[in-house]
Amino acid sequence: MFSYWEQQSFSHYDHIVVGAGIVGLCVAIGLRERYPQSSVLVLERGLLPTGASTRNAGFACMGSATELLDDLQYASEAEVVGLFAARKKGLERLRNMLGDSRIGYRENGGYELISEQEAGALDKLGYLNSLLKPTTGKDAFKPANERIKEFGFAGIYSKALIENTCEGEINSGMMMRALLNMAARCGVEVKTGAEIVGFEEDGKQVFVRVKDPFRGEVWLLTCNTFSICTNAFTKQLLPDVDVTPGRGQVLVTQPIPGLKFKGIYHFDKGYYYFREIDGRVLFGGGRNIDFETENTTDFSLNSLIQIDLEQKLADIILPGMQFQVEQRWAGIMAFGANKHPIVKAFSPHVFGAFRMGGMGVALGSETAAQLVQLISG
């Protein structure tokens, strides 16, 4: 049973947001800025944001050349350019909102390793640059083959290197800490360990049922607007939405003396990505070799992919160098029929912003701003 005081002070909010990741926190902050006198609550089922916001690779990127060329096989030029522009705008919004120093933003260079089978992409860089220049104001891609040897990559795979001139890197932990701190300063209330077991609405307000893990009871909250920002886990609340989870495997090495490169890197249409962080190599991806298993919200490690990552680390990225893997983890991304996020009003009181397509760092804050605008009407 809940006390009189609990019912009086903690049962109703103007706005409830589900999910304390990038999108959810940005929505909550945006609502408080739009409606300074309103009460805003963020509910997060984990002790930390559960999906990908604290489990990503920290890439401030908008898409590699081969990834964009692959997208153009399934989408129009306008759609691909529009999504690229949204990623750029989102990164700019995130940096302006929090400040580069608070998110560990750096521009140490972004590059893509090109295999022999992908060499045709080099002939299309001019086309991509022309397509994107109204958005970037400069050439987004340029050859950088001379740096392959400097960085120490294996020539057996890296037949060419493309520089991605619009990319940077962030520290994901610093970013999420900065967002949480900003939410607190704005007067947003954040509750972790709060699992939503259902919701209903009566045309005037939304009733949200939250499991209390300590007392074993269900806590009934009410709100005027209910925003679902749970990315890959959205089907648990909205079963009919077009969201497919995609697990991402990651490993981090111990510090490597004499590491020759900094910055962020992609290869194989963006399915693999690696970077230098604190003298270590963070390497992730590989879900394309086992899509069926990786379409899950289970955070387990996939031994097939982890072995593949280690092999590619030894053969392609660090040939002839000794390394030890220190940490491994998995994050859960969300995909669908296309790469555009879903921002939607499901009723006059229930809203959603989710399905970041593995680009939550770039798209999150801009997608959140779109949802705040939608709620504001």
pLDDT at 215: 86
Residue type at 230 in one-letter notation: T
Rg (C-alpha) for the chain, rounded Å, is 21
Average pLDDT, the chain: 95
- B/e letters for 248-274, b = 16+ CB within 10 Å, e = fewer, are bbbbbbeebeebebebbbbbbbbbbbb
12-27 pLDDT per residue, tens = 999 999 999 999 999 9
The pLDDT confidence band at residue 7, using thresholds 50, 70 and 90, is: confident
Judged against a pLDDT cut of 90, whether residue 293 lies above it is answered with: yes
Task: Retrieve residue 169's tokens.
Answer: 């890197």
pLDDT at 356: 96
- Decide which of 260 and 6 is more confident: 260
Beta-strand relationship, 141-143 and 59-60:
unpaired
First to last CA, the chain: 38
d(CA 44, CA 38): 20
Residue carrying the six token digits 């989710």: 354
Complete domains list, the chain, with CATH = 4-53+174-242+338-376 (3.50.50.60), 245-335 (3.30.9.10)
123-169 pLDDT per residue, tens = 999 999 999 999 999 999 999 999 999 999 998 899 999 999 999 99
For residue 320, give every residue at least 6 positions away whose Cβ sits within 8 Å of its Cβ, in sequence order, or none.
Answer: none
pLDDT at 377: 87
d(CA 172, CA 262): 17
Judged against a pLDDT cut of 80, whether residue 51 lies above it is answered with: no
Judged against a pLDDT cut of 80, whether residue 52 lies above it is answered with: no
Work out the angle between the directed axes of helices 172-186 and 77-98 (0-180°, nearest 10).
70
95-123 pLDDT per residue, tens = 999 999 999 999 998 999 999 999 999 99
pLDDT at 50: 73
The reported pTM is 0.96
pLDDT at 343: 98
